[in-house]
Chain A
Amino acid sequence: MPNYKLTINGESYQVKASANMPLLWVLRDLLQLKGTKYGCGLGICGNCMLMVEGEAKTACLLPISAVEGRAITTIEGLSEKNDHPVQEAWRKEHVPQCGYCQSGQIMQAAALLEQSPNPSMEQIETAMSKVLCRCGTYPRIKKAIQAAVELSKK
């Protein structure tokens, strides 16, 4: 099995894995970074959303060979003190219920703000519709996204 050098949350990791092993399972099972969640493994639910070079990606469809040398950010590395504007906004609006999809929701929202600091309604809807929630936290995510946009301007 080949060796890969990954940069995750600013730290270097050496991993031995098959070239097509998805990043999701590399993180969860080989590196014990459990914050990124498995929801469908098909790129539909977005629960495993993380950032590669600031762009939102579903980790379940991303082979390890495609991310070598690229900066990967997971929920564990979004902020040191749980105070990224998106986390602050999510806290303010009390978004999570079971919380299982929230790593994905938060990473998707953080990536959106990274790409478009002033997103249009359409951009928000397109981005946030990629992460599914069964508990029904969408009404609060709607409010939290607006709060996050404001907070990230500060």
Chain B
Amino acid sequence: MNRRLFLSTATLAGGSLVLGVKAKAEGLPIVDINDFQPNRLLVFQKDGIIRLITNKTEMGQGTNSSIRLLAAEELCVPLSWIQQEVRIPEEEGFVGTGGSWGMAGYYRGGRPIFATARQLFINAAARHWQLNPSQIRLDKGLFRHPTLTETLSYKQLLSIAAQLEVPDEAPLIPSTSFKLIGKSHPHAHLEEQLNGSLSYGIDQYKEGMLYASIERCPVTNGKLKRYDAKAALAFDGVVEVIPLEGTSWDAYDYFPAGVAVLATNTWAAQQGRQLLQVEWDLGDNLKLNNSYIQKSFEEQLQGEGVVFHQKGEGGDAKEEQAISLTATYDTPFWSHSPMEPMNTLAHYSDKGCEIWTPCHMQSRLLAAVKKITDFTDAQIKIHTTYLGGSFGRRLLVDYALEALLLSKAAGRPVQLLNTRIDETKQGHYMPAGKHQLRSSLQNGLPTSLHMKVVSLSIYAQREPDQIKGGIDNAIGDDFLRYPYEIPHLKFEQALANNIQIPALWWRGTFANTAGFVMESWMDELAHATKRDPLDFRLSLLKQTDGLITIRGEETMDKGIFKRVLEEAGRFSNWKEKRRKGAGKGIAACFTFFESYAAIVAEVSVSKNKELKIHRLTCVVECGQVVNPNLVRAQIEGGIVFALSAMLRASINFNDGRVLESSFGDYPTLTYRECPAIDIHLLSSDRPASGVGELSNIPTFAAVANAIFDASGLRVRSLPLSRHLEV
């Protein structure tokens, strides 16, 4: 994830678009105007509705539902007055969601803007009554005169506020006076989700539209040789067959060569597609298979890497070693597989284009559309629909570009919908990796850690400018977020970009694999010295005064890292004696969006190696909790997401093709398999920070460490189905 891009969203929220003019010093009368926009985020309407325009997209995480709370709190109005909408990228700058920074960005950067709007209206009321602003009281959206019973509301003050200057600064509502923030509120779209009326990308409809399904080249970078559409066109409902050239595999919004079938309904398009006769030039990637990938990783692991972090004498410090430990950890490719498959409705005409799409990187889409058309910003209209999940997949806009090209060729609106098989076989995947670790231990304490990671680099593929000195910080940084006191460290990386598999950010991305590796390794070290894994960790977190800055970008408080571990131990009754075959495992994490979590997993492993995951206890420190209901939902979701991946899921390759095809062979966790989840949100003086990609990170190692505790089996590769009956 491009950290800087997402952190910048806080400042982008600022700036005044509509500036007031200076008014003369006399009581101003109320004049009827329709609406007034004092800044980029808020439009006050004369019907009393306050429109909140954010650059965040809803995909289940509920960020906008909670940004509403921030606005209502700061404006001192009932929540129901605030109506949220997504900013239009061509008109108002960056629109994109990711990096778990939405709430944190608005908590820091949005509230001061809401506060200045509140102050502006207080000034307007004061001007109307010819009072000093400090004499006005604001409560439940009503401005009160100190002596008169008369009140004014935001909607009455529009015309006056529009004539005043927006203050540069205004005091924030102190956290001790919060009425909405910190209490549970429902997801803003709950009612429509319960009766099926919420409109997702797949539900968009436009008169005269055609439905499309694309048969794409199964091997990365292959080309279309020839196709015969006769049988497809004969299928009832099929209207047209259109070839698509595809892009280079390392293009940011890569899409493969394909042949699209357009029909009067989705089913006819999918059936017609099966009747296509297509011949591909499959290219060089036919050699791509699991053993090629593993061999490639292995070679790079033995070869030279680039050191991205070193402390003391490095990880190979020579000393009188009591114990030396080494191991290799493997993580597979994973797919995002949100429930709503990729889709887009696009309408291209000579005058411009309109796109209805469930993506959350609208600014990227706008730029990409400009690249493939001659349209200006004003000719491109992007409508953001509700999103049926993403987990990173919808950061890309490949499907929207395909739909637009099809609409252009067909001369009518076209809705493209991927099948589940397309989603599984032709995704952009969480990169696989191989990790080698070596440590020496002396007097029961680790003295050195040498870690080397080999992985595909998302940046090297899609944004090579981000690679500096051969280092991909997205891969490296997550290893720097474990603050254990080990005197000698050496971390290396090698990028396996000879492997042409499109790689993409995936709920937490490398934090998941780094977390699995680092926290499993801490467990290995603890057991090697016959120490309790929690006590062992705490003994390496002694100096907790002062903050640690990671690459000058983020600040970690080791005290909080230690606290979440201690609390997880306490809430899970860590020291209680284990039943035979049962075990507990612990792991913690700190994230780039400055949240902390620790998890204790409780599992049992039978004699026949049957694994059962019983309970996960998760302790979270995410600063000020804005909406506990939705924070908890994200913590539950992160755990289920990680369990889904680690139990049985992996994407494998043979003959250049993905072997898996659907939830049948790329299984996701079911209702029956879902363990009990206990969540504890710690109170905090810090401002709100993110939770979207948090609880998934420690889940991997917590479960793996619990398996070791229960059975003595050390899991060093995923998924778990390689080792156990799951």
Other-chain contact of A82, B195, B339, B673, B676 (Cβ < 8 Å):
B195
Question: Can you spell out 23 A-B residue pairs with CB atoms less than 8 angstroms apart?
Answer: A1-B236, A22-B267, A29-B264, A34-B199, A34-B202, A42-B420, A78-B195, A82-B194, A87-B195, A94-B184, A101-B339, A102-B194, A125-B671, A129-B672, A129-B673, A134-B338, A134-B391, A135-B640, A136-B638, A137-B636, A138-B640, A139-B677, A140-B636
A97 engages B61 (CB within 8 Å): yes
Query: What chain B residues lie within 8 Å of A21 (beta carbons)?
Result: 265, 267
Known A-B contacts A40-B662, A87-B195; A94 and B677 likewise in contact (beta carbons under 8 Å): no
A141:B60 contact, CB within 8 angstroms: no
B193 in contact with A102 (CB, 8 Å): yes
Tell me the dominant secondary structure on chain B's binding face: loop
CB within 8 A of B196: which of A18, A30, A74? A74
- Bound Cα distance from A97 to B635, whole angstroms: 12
The one of A39, A97, A98, A126 that contacts B420, using a Cβ cutoff of 8 Å: A39
Residues of A contacting B: mostly: loop
Also in contact, A98 and B389, with CB within 8 A (given A132-B663, A134-B641): yes
Size category, B interface: 35 or more
Q: How far is the CB of A102 from chain B (nearest CB, A)?
A: 5
Does B200 lie at the interface of the complex (its beta carbon under 8 Å from any beta carbon of A)?
yes
Cross-chain contact A94 with B190 (CB below 8 angstroms) = yes
Chain A min CB distance to B692 (Å): 11
The distance in angstroms between the C-alpha atoms of A100 and B196, with both chains bound, is: 9
**The one of A22, A42, A78, A82 that contacts B664, using a Cβ cutoff of 8 Å:** A42
Instruction: Establish whether residues A82 and B191, one from each chain, have CB atoms under 8 Å apart when the complex forms.
Output: yes
Chain A residues within an 8 Å CB radius of B191: 82, 91
Chain B residues 182-201 with CB under 8 Å of chain A are 184, 186-187, 189-200
| CB contact between B669 and one of A18, A39, A97, A138 (< 8 Å): that residue | A138
Residue of A nearest to B192 (CB): A99
Q: How far is the CB of B283 from chain A (nearest CB, A)?
A: 29
Judging by beta carbons under 8 Å apart, are B266 and A94 in contact?
Answer: no
Q: Which residues in B have their C-beta under 8 angstroms from that of A30?
A: 265
In contact, B636 and A37 (Cβ under 8 angstroms): no
Cα distance A45–B189 when bound, in Å?
Answer: 23
The A-contacting residues of B in range 103-142, CB under 8 angstroms, are none
Known: A94-B190, A97-B60, A97-B389. 9 other contacts (CB 8 A): A29-B211, A34-B205, A36-B196, A42-B663, A94-B187, A98-B388, A129-B673, A134-B668, A135-B633
Q: Which B residues lie within 8 Å of A101 (CB)? A: 339
Indicate if B533 sits at the interface (CB-CB under 8 A).
Answer: no
Chain A residues lying within 8 Å of B203, measured Cβ to Cβ, are 34
Residues of B within 8 A of A (CB): 59-62, 184, 186-187, 189-200, 202-203, 205, 211, 236, 264-267, 270, 337-341, 386-389, 391, 417, 419-420, 629, 633, 636-641, 644, 662-664, 668-674, 676-677
Q: Are A44 and B664 in contact (CB under 8 A)?
A: yes
Cβ-defined contact, B636 with A136, below 8 A:
yes
* A100-B195 in contact (CB<8A): no
Are A136 and B265 in contact, with the CB atoms below 8 A?
A: no
Question: Within residues 68 to 99 of chain A, which ones have a CB less than 8 A from any CB in chain B?
Answer: 74-76, 78-79, 82, 87, 90-91, 94, 96-99
Whether A54 is near chain B, meaning CB under 8 Å from some CB there, is: no
The reply on A119 being an interface residue by CB < 8 A is no
Name the residue on A nearest B391 (C-beta): A134
Known A-B contacts A25-B265, A40-B662, A139-B636; A98 and B338 likewise in contact (beta carbons under 8 Å): yes
| Bound Cα distance from A37 to B270, whole angstroms | 16
Are B187 and A40 neighbours in the complex by a CB distance under 8 Å? no
- Chain B min CB distance to A147 (Å): 14
User: Roughly how many angstroms separate A128 CA and B670 CA in the complex, as a whole number?
Assistant: 8
A44 contacts which chain B residues (CB < 8 A)? 662-664
User: What are the residues of chain B within 8 A of A76 when measuring CB–CB?
Assistant: 195-197
CA distance A76 to B198 in the complex (A): 11
